[in-house]
């Protein structure tokens, strides 16, 4: 395994039993390659996500992988774990302080303002599929680079929009076959009623400070909301009896939350109010929600979101309410696998063109090109291998047919077509071949 400290360990090597091959580099810790055999899961999820966004009227927005680091500090919050411990921040050659995107909402809001989307009829509905970077301790379902599917509805305060976003997230999971998820909701109020709530949390926790973990001891002053979702068992008990945000909501926030619950009932979405759900980003106001698998620990939320009515103003815009959601793609894949949900294969090319001899190679190159121009997916043999080796290759790739061009075929201007599942072979003209393969 690769250690983190010593230079020697940085060069991870792996001497293969034969050939003495040396592996000089590995993917950075906490990142993963998505190999061809995994791609079926990713295409499946992306296709469902895109179809869902079309259904709900969301348009795609792609933002850069890095932004001014200040954007994230200002929106996610200076004292959050993401900003203090997890951001990949760096200076470029011009001295600009940039950060790899640690979440998708702030860049969407920045783009909304930068491109004058506030002048369009509101709400503006946008979605993204993007790589996210957080320097976290890697473990199952937790990476330093992960991908999110997220969507944001900007410019409307109606609680019906909160419910629609939650329903859309629910439908996303359902369309994938993930119907084992628990929906938790809560309201953490607005900046007016939050003040009173934070004071009451602080005095409660100050009285229980002795039993808290080291991180939580500092959170009492720094970020009291996050005391509630500490995963350490000792803090768990203290949090269970802590004051609840719902008891401190102002009238507007109380009415809003009541309406969200009513709409969720109308939509027949089962949910549970979780007083300890606060989320790890400071921009949230009022509604917060999360989807968690029934069979896993609380830190494995597969998706979450909420309302963030102050963020656009915080970034220099006029007061603009908004609500959104994001799911972690790796966690979705993990859950699909755990639930043994089968996904469609990414199809292999239909035919493998094999050849025997130099003249046949020229004919095979011509044939492969003509078939592709006709829309048939072709894998062309290379490297002058034996027919046996070529058939083995076609078999491992899973093509349905092999078109064999040999000396005889060159003379007779024909092709031998082998059906890989039955082993049957027939000699056909190039025109017949095209017709058969396009059927
Ligand atoms: P978040 O809860 O930090 O929210 O991330 C969204 C989802 O990304 C999580 O529920 C989880 O599935 C996945 N995720 C987070 N961190 C990791 C990681 N290190 N490795 C793998 N998966 C991870 C946000 O980022 C908000 N921007 C969501 C939002 C959109 N709120 C409003 N609009």
**What would the two tokens of residue 63 be?**
């933002």
- Predicted confidence at residue 413, as pLDDT, reads 94
pLDDT > 80? residue 374:
yes
* Average pLDDT, integer, range 358-375: 96
Residue 277 Cα to ligand 1 middle (Å): 14
Alpha carbon separation from 196 to 154, 240, 244, 279, 321 (Å, rounded) = 27, 19, 11, 19, 22
- Predicted confidence at residue 345, as pLDDT, reads 87
**Closest atom, ligand 1, to C-alpha of 290:** 10
pLDDT > 90? residue 229:
no
Residue 53 Cα to ligand 1 middle (Å): 18
Tell me the pLDDT of the chain averaged across its residues. Answer: 93
Higher per-residue pLDDT: 411 or 231: 411
Residue 305 Cα to ligand 1 middle (Å): 8
Ligand 1 mutation target, pool 331, 335, 336, most atoms within 8 A of CB: 331
**Closest atom, ligand 1, to C-alpha of 308:** 32
Residue 342 Cα to ligand 1 middle (Å): 25
Residue 357 Cα to ligand 1 middle (Å): 56
Residue 278 Cα to ligand 1 middle (Å): 13
- Predicted confidence at residue 346, as pLDDT, reads 85
Closest C-alpha residue for ligand 1 atom 13: 328
**Band of pLDDT at residue 155, cut at 50, 70 and 90:** very high
Closest C-alpha residue for ligand 1 atom 21: 142
Ligand 1 mutation target, pool 72, 132, 185, most atoms within 8 A of CB: 132
Q: What is the pLDDT of residues 245-299, one digit of tens each?
A: 999 999 999 999 999 999 999 999 999 999 999 999 999 999 999 999 987 654 5
- Within 6 A (CB) of ligand 1 lie 103-105, 134, 136, 141-143, 146, 148, 150, 152, 280-281, 301-306, 324-328, 330-331
Q: What is the pLDDT of residues 114-142, one digit of tens each?
A: 999 999 999 999 999 999 999 999 999 99
pLDDT > 50? residue 11:
no
Closest C-alpha residue for ligand 1 atom 15: 328
What is the strand order of the sheet 415-419 is part of? 378-380, 351-355, 401-405, 415-419, 425-428
DSSP 213: -
Ligand 1 mutation target, pool 49, 76, 148, most atoms within 8 A of CB: 148
Gap between the Cα atoms of 278 and 286, Å rounded: 10
* Average pLDDT, integer, range 365-382: 96
- Predicted confidence at residue 31, as pLDDT, reads 98
Q: HSE-up of 182 (CA within 13 Å, CB side)?
A: 15
- Predicted confidence at residue 340, as pLDDT, reads 96
- Predicted confidence at residue 21, as pLDDT, reads 84
Closest C-alpha residue for ligand 1 atom 10: 303
Q: What is the pLDDT of residues 16-64, one digit of tens each?
A: 445 578 999 999 999 999 999 999 999 999 999 999 999 999 999 999 9
- Predicted confidence at residue 299, as pLDDT, reads 54
Contact by Cβ (8 Å): 248, 145: no
- Predicted confidence at residue 297, as pLDDT, reads 55
- What are the phi and psi torsion angles at 69 (to 5°)? -60, -30
Among 404, 350, 407, 344, residue whose Cα is nearest residue 377:
350
Q: What is the pLDDT of residues 298-356, one digit of tens each?
A: 458 999 999 999 999 999 999 999 999 999 999 999 999 999 999 998 889 999 999 99
């Amino acid at each position: 395994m690769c250690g983190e400290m010593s230079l020697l360990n940085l060069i991870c090597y792996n001497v293969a039993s034969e050939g003495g091959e040396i592996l000089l580099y590995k993917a950075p810790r906490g990142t993963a390659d998505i190999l061809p055999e995994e791609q079926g899961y990713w295409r499946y999820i992306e296709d469902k996500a895109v179809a869902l966004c079309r259904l709900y009227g969301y348009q795609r927005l792609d933002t850069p992988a890095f932004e001014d680091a200040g954007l994230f500090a200002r929106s996610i919050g200076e004292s959050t774990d993401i900003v203090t411990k997890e951001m990949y921040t760096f200076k470029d050659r011009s001295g600009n302080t940039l950060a790899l995107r640690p979440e998708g909402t702030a860049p969407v809001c920045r783009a909304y303002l930068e491109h004058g989307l506030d002048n369009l009829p509101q709400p503006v509905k946008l979605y993204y599929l993007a790589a996210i970077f957080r320097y976290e301790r890697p473990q199952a379902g937790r990476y330093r680079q992960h991908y999110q599917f997220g969507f944001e509805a900007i410019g409307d305060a109606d609680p019906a929009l909160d419910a629609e976003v939650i329903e859309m997230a629910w439908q996303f999971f359902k369309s994938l076959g993930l119907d084992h998820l628990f929906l938790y909701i809560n309201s953490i109020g607005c900046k007016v009623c939050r003040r009173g709530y934070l004071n009451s949390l602080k005095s409660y926790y100050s009285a229980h400070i002795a039993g808290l973990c080291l991180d939580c001891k500092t959170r009492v002053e720094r970020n009291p909301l996050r005391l509630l979702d500490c995963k350490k068992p000792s803090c768990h008990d203290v949090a269970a009896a802590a004051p609840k945000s719902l008891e401190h909501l102002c009238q507007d926030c109380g009415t809003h939350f009541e309406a969200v619950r009513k709409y969720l009932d109308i939509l027949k979405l089962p949910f549970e109010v979780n007083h300890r759900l606060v989320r790890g980003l400071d921009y949230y106001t009022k509604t917060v929600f999360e989807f968690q698998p029934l069979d896993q620990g609380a830190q494995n939320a597969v998706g979450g979101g909420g309302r963030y009515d102050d963020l656009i103003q915080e970034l220099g815009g006029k007061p603009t309410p908004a609500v959104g959601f994001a799911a972690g793609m790796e966690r979705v894949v993990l859950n699909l696998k755990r639930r043994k949900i089968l996904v469609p294969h990414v199809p292999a090319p239909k035919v493998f063109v094999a050849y025997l001899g130099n003249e046949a190679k020229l004919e095979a190159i011509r044939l492969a090109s003509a078939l592709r121009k006709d829309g048939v997916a072709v894998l062309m043999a290379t490297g002058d291998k034996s027919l046996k080796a070529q058939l083995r290759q076609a078999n491992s790739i899973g093509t349905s047919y092999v078109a064999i061009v040999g000396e005889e075929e060159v003379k007779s201007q024909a092709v031998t077509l082998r059906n890989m599942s039955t082993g049957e072979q027939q000699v056909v003209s190039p025109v017949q071949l095209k017709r058969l393969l396009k059927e």
